[in-house]
Chains A and B, each alone.
Chain A
Amino acid sequence: MDFERARIEDVETRVKSAVERAKEKQEELNAVVSFVDVDSQLADLANKDPHAPLYGMPIVLKDNVNMKGVRTTASSRILDNYIPVYDAHISEKLKEAGAIVIAKSSMDELGMGGTNKNAYTGKVNNPWDTMRISGGSSGGSAVLVASGVVPFAIGTDTGDSVRKPAAYNGIIGMKPTYGRISRYGIIPYASSLDHVGYFTTAIEDAAVALEVLAGRDDRDMTSSYEPVPNYASDINSDIKGKKIAILDNVQEAITNAEIKENFDALMKKLQARGAIVEHVRFDDKLMRAMLPVYYIIANAEATANHSNLDGIRFGMREDGASVEEVMINSRTKGLCPYVRKRFVIGSYSLFEENQEKIFRKAQKVRRLIVEELKKALAGYDIVIASASGMIAPKSEDSQDEHLSKDVLVAENYMVMGNFSGYPSMSMPTGFVEGMPIGINMTAKPFAEQTLFNIGKAIEEETGLKGNDVEVDA
């Protein structure tokens, strides 16, 4: 469902029916952690301009986004009773724009994972086939958009946590430039990689959403002063002369013939529209290094960020005879085994004797990967590839970031958008075995408009504007 379709109903009907749909689908999808009271938000609309961009639009927040007075757990047991006393910057922005938050959505615990199987409330199901995973870590938000519950949901993206679930669920997943959207009031994962992102089903909606969310915030030291353009009114799907680079390392690593054919056919259509489509190749060693670099940096930053989760000032506190025992008991019981293991690995790489050979080495390789991307984008408007080499896997066939000898280049490359901070967007391009598939494109810093313009051209070619399970049914 896109904004246009949502607006067919009056505000109250639209919001109440979104809540109803979310409740009806909860058993099937398990995507909601908490429902949010909409009555007081609807009453507040009386003080808002009816022309506000998201006036009366039902939306969902990932459960790591603070909303004053609303339980925010990050899908972790240790935060199961946490009630924020302040709004995240984006919660304020969305409220100003007239949005109505109907629910907080499930995620991999603290954002750590790519399956959404690591949520305290359990696995989230893919609405196209509930035996399959939603992808993560923003899985709850993704499926609530893909199932037609809401037209817009907030996620966060540290590795590909918006863009991968978007691809698995047949919707648009946007991760803007690092610093474009303030992260103030969002429970962090890895600060040098964390981005706010979001899901929609239409390119115009993605452009409107960014106008609402973007802009400088003094409370986030990484927030950018770059002015916010009129993304929506500036959309132009005339891509004649636009230079598009296919990332060959990814396409060659994909073995699924139908996914390859879908991608190749789309490239031909973009060429027919006048785009110049060529190929780039990154150093294979750097491609293989992406997952270990991510794994080392993300785990190290996460273990430092989450040292405040101790049950003392907030969160679930377990009893103990001393402060130390309270902390140990609270963290042991409050954090799932997957998260605790990652913290051990992160802590290990930060030991003085390991920092140079592990953590700093990863940070140096990160720079080389970013330079490779920068070099490619010097000659092109975007770098493009399939968002995944597979459809959403079945639950039993999926696992979270896990180092293995067979580094899956096609499944891990989107993290280059987090290493670099460059804007990156996934969008649907078709179906394989009844499941959605998609592409991902990355542009130069603050060139979100380029993604929207080329995205619009792709949307016109695929006819998948407003795609969700309800539309397809």
Chain B
Amino acid sequence: MEAYSAEYFKKLAHDIMFDVSDDEVVELQAEFKELLSQIDVLNEIDTEGVEEMIYPFEAETKFLREDVVANVISQEDALSNAKSVKAGHVHVPKVVK
């Protein structure tokens, strides 16, 4: 598949579970052109030996706690936002046909 073709973008979108229209593909192609030129801007910057910055502060703030049950929601609450519920479970179309 040719990189940055319409087919390519439709597959990219499909891989993350949605569709894009033909018009959206045209816009994406234009944005990718810009993205690639902006990567050149980044490449002008020497990052040899520089560590990636993943979070603003790299100090750990979470420590191990006792294994006690906390912040529990009820089954009723857990299912309250699902469109379809059957027998205490989220109901979806049959997977095994």
A255 within 8 A of B: no
Separation of A337 and B50 alpha carbons in the complex (Å): 36
* Residue-wise interface mask of B (69-81) relative to A, using a CB-CB cutoff of 8 A (1 in contact, 0 not): 0010100011011
Interface residues of B in 1-28 (CB under 8 A from A): 9, 12-21, 24, 27-28
Contact check, B56 vs A420: say whether CB atoms are below 8 A apart: yes
Contact check, B53 vs A367: say whether CB atoms are below 8 A apart: yes
- How many pairs of residues, A versus B, come closer than 8 Å at their CB atoms? 167
B52 within 8 A of A: yes
B67 within 8 A of A: no
Contact check, B57 vs A292: say whether CB atoms are below 8 A apart: no
Separation of A285 and B40 alpha carbons in the complex (Å): 11
Contact check, B12 vs A344: say whether CB atoms are below 8 A apart: yes
Known contacts A328-B14, A332-B19, A340-B24, A295 near B38 by CB under 8 Å: yes
Contact check, A323 vs B53: say whether CB atoms are below 8 A apart: no
Separation of A321 and B93 alpha carbons in the complex (Å): 6
Contact of A289 among B9, B16, B42 (CB under 8 A): B42
Place the interface of chain B in its size category.
35 or more
Q: B83 → chain A, closest Cβ, in Å?
A: 4
A358 within 8 A of B: yes
Contact check, A341 vs B28: say whether CB atoms are below 8 A apart: yes
Separation of A86 and B78 alpha carbons in the complex (Å): 10
Separation of A179 and B59 alpha carbons in the complex (Å): 11
Separation of A310 and B34 alpha carbons in the complex (Å): 30
A445 within 8 A of B: yes
Known contacts A83-B81, A323-B95, A404-B34, A364 near B21 by CB under 8 Å: no
B54 within 8 A of A: yes
A223 within 8 A of B: yes
Contact check, A223 vs B34: say whether CB atoms are below 8 A apart: no
Known contacts A285-B45, A337-B21, A341-B24, A315 near B81 by CB under 8 Å: yes
Separation of A341 and B44 alpha carbons in the complex (Å): 26
Contact check, A368 vs B45: say whether CB atoms are below 8 A apart: yes
Separation of A405 and B41 alpha carbons in the complex (Å): 10
Interface residues of A in 356-393 (CB under 8 A from B): 357-358, 360-368, 370
Q: B88 → chain A, closest Cβ, in Å?
A: 14
A192 within 8 A of B: yes
Contact check, B17 vs A345: say whether CB atoms are below 8 A apart: no
If over half of B's interface residues share one DSSP class (helix, strand or loop), that class is named, otherwise mixed; here it is loop
Q: A414 → chain B, closest Cβ, in Å?
A: 15
Interface residues in A, total, Cβ within 8 A: 76
Separation of A241 and B62 alpha carbons in the complex (Å): 38
Contact check, A222 vs B55: say whether CB atoms are below 8 A apart: yes
Separation of A237 and B53 alpha carbons in the complex (Å): 35
The listed residue with most B CB atoms (<10 A of its CB), out of A289, A314, A402, A403, is A403
Contact check, B14 vs A224: say whether CB atoms are below 8 A apart: no
* Residue-wise interface mask of A (298-325) relative to B, using a CB-CB cutoff of 8 A (1 in contact, 0 not): 0000010001001111111100111111
**Chain A: which residue is nearest B44 at the CB level?**
A285
Separation of A328 and B19 alpha carbons in the complex (Å): 7
Contact check, A364 vs B53: say whether CB atoms are below 8 A apart: yes
Residues of A within 8 A of B86 (CB): none
Separation of A315 and B28 alpha carbons in the complex (Å): 26
**Chain B: which residue is nearest A358 at the CB level?**
B39
Known contacts A221-B61, A321-B93, A328-B17, A361 near B43 by CB under 8 Å: yes
Contact of B82 among A219, A313, A345 (CB under 8 A): A313
Known contacts A312-B92, A420-B56, A347 near B82 by CB under 8 Å: no
**20 A–B contact pairs at CB < 8 A?**
A85-B73, A179-B56, A222-B61, A289-B42, A326-B93, A328-B14, A332-B18, A337-B24, A337-B27, A340-B13, A347-B15, A347-B16, A361-B42, A364-B52, A366-B53, A367-B53, A404-B34, A419-B53, A419-B56, A420-B56
Given A83-B80, A178-B57, A222-B61, 4 more A-B residue pairs with CB atoms under 8 Å apart are: A291-B38, A313-B90, A345-B32, A364-B52
Q: Which residues of B contact A (CB under 8 A)?
A: 9, 12-21, 24, 27-28, 31-32, 34-35, 37-39, 41-45, 47, 50-57, 61-62, 65, 71, 73, 77-78, 80-84, 90, 92-93, 95
